Amino acid sequence: MRHHNGSVEVVTGPMFSGKTEELIRRLRRARIARQKIQVFQPSIDTRFGQGKVTSHAGTAFEATPIDSATAIPELLEEGTTVVGIDEAQFFDAEIIEVVQQLADRGLRVIVAGLDTDFRAEPFGPIPALMAQAERVDKLHAICMVCGDAASRTQRLIDGRPAHYDDPIVVVGANELYEARCRRHHNVPRD
């Protein structure tokens, strides 16, 4: 089954909000509809191993690890109608053009990734993808301090908030990051 019109869907939010879980849910529904699916992930993300996207809840879907978004068109197989891309914030700006080209060719492209970094500032290509997408879903997690809705990712170093000048990309999970609400998100600048 082929789509007549291509589209871009972005699933975003902080860590632990269910972005990958939602990506996998949409991919499974496409598989039920007998659509041909290919999924890609940045090779930098090795938290759950290579060759599959895996949510923090443990659900997984097979994927191809790539170093650059420009590899996606080269690896695209005949008949593919749905392309999933997880952890898209780790790709450079090339992914924006690649995603648009795929959608222009009539493919459904589902992108998952963090919209903001630990500083609560726009993260990589995700904001531009959100602006160009037909559908954007911003998910929320639960603040690990107060239990309210969390829209931010807090990086912790030795149990304390990371400083503003610390590196943007540090791949990790529970031991380094927490979901936080605006009130409890803290990024010291001194």
Question: Strand order in 7-12's β-sheet?
Answer: 64-66, 37-42, 82-85, 108-113, 7-12, 135-138
Residue 43 vs residues 13, 40, 69, 86, 161: alpha-carbon distances, Å: 21, 9, 11, 11, 27
* Inter-residue contact 166 to 140 (CB < 8 Å): no
Query: Which residues are tagged catalytic?
Result: 87
Quote helix, strand, coil % in the chain, to nearest 5: 20, 30, 50
- Which DSSP letter does residue 188 get? -
Residue from 9, 110, 17, 8 nearest 55 by CA: 17
Residue from 131, 137, 147 nearest 112 by CA: 137
* Inter-residue contact 144 to 152 (CB < 8 Å): no
